Amino acid sequence: MKINISNHSDSLILMIHGFSGYPRNLEYLAEKINNMLGYDILVPRLPGHNKTLDDLKESSHEDWVFAIDKILKEKNSKYKNIYLIGFSMGTLIATMLADRYENIRKMILIAPPFSFPFKKKFLLFLSPILKYIKKYHYKDIGEKKMNRNINDPEMRKKYPVKFEKEPLESVIEFNRLRKKAKKRFKKNKTPFLIIQSVKDRVATFDENNSFLKSNMGPTYGKFVILNESGHMIPIDFERDEVVEETINFIKEDLSWKKI
């Protein structure tokens, strides 16, 4: 189910969850921001991210982007200020759309997966061929679907993985989106906050930090580096620091909101 919090505000925070994830991955951040800012908050479920792997397999990266774009079209005239918060694959979608609407003031990108180590990039390159040999990419998970990308053991119990595996066709769609978002990021004009963790085993720190800092568009960017969280940064050890940094960035007075 989506998360929809209405405070009758003229500002909206639109959050976008990650690949094969679900809105609850962002509920902690949504609840804390709601308590401290009182903005309207929406965390939709991306197309295909429902009950079955067939749903995921039948959706495309265009579907994922279109769904968020449709929401922004509907909300742009209603809200004076819109802030995008993307987590993991959600950062790619946010990057694709941030410059499209005038009322989008800032974006927060948490654990952005723009770049990968050579081995993973090579496997992604081969995935259109590998799909004829194997159907799925299997996740590294623990007992009872516990997510090894959450380092906090209590949060591992609370937020199990939705899918234990992912269709190779869906992985290919993710990679197509990633390539488009990399090109878009280089031209981005929306002020952004990047939050990364050095212990992220999915959106690995070195590769992504290097890409992001080397390819900033003509705008303001701020980087926050965490030391204890895994990939699931919004619900891991440093989740309260994520909340604080996100709120501070949203409230920060940037005279050059867009260049």
Question: What does the alpha-carbon distance between residue 106 and residue 158 come to, in Å, rounded to a whole number?
Answer: 30
In a domain, 259, yes or no: no
* Domain assignment of residue 173, yes or no: yes
In the chain, % of residues over pLDDT 70:
98
At 194, list the tokens: 């990047």
Does any domain span residue 206?
Answer: yes
Q: Specify the pLDDT at position 170.
A: 95
Helices (H), the chain: 27-37, 53-57, 61-75, 89-97, 118-130, 153-158, 168-185, 205-214, 239-251
Question: Among 42, 39, 38, which residue's Cα sits nearest to residue 72?
Answer: 42
- Does 185 map to a domain? yes
- Confidence (pTM): 0.95
User: Which tokens hold the place of 225?
Assistant: 């580096």
Residues near 197 by beta carbon (within 8 Å), at least 6 away in sequence: 111, 205, 225, 226, 227, 228, 229, 230, 231, 233, 236, 238
Domain around 246: 3-251
The 8-class DSSP code of residue 204 comes to T
Which pLDDT does position 257 carry in this prediction? 52
In a domain, 257, yes or no: no
Tens of pLDDT, residues 180-208: 999 999 999 999 999 999 999 999 999 99
pLDDT of residue 144: 74
Q: Give the tens place of pLDDT for each residue, 96-145.
A: 999 999 999 999 999 999 999 888 888 888 888 878 888 888 887 877 77
* pLDDT given at position 233: 98
Would 241 be classed as within a structural domain? Answer: yes
What average pLDDT does range 49-67 have in this prediction?
A: 94
Percent pLDDT > 90 in the chain is 81
Look at residue 130 and tell me if it is in a domain. Answer: yes
Tokens coding 159: 């937020």
48 domain residue, yes or no = yes
Instruction: Look at residue 119 in the predicted model and tell me its pLDDT.
Output: 83
Average of per-residue pLDDT across 38-61: 94
Domain count, the chain: 1
Q: What is the CATH number of the domain that holds 240?
A: 3.40.50.1820
Least confident range from 32-46, 73-87, 152-166, 230-244: namely: 152-166
Average the pLDDT over 137-160 and give the result.
87
Mean pLDDT of 221-244: 98
* For residue 1, pLDDT beyond 70: yes
Residue type, 155: M
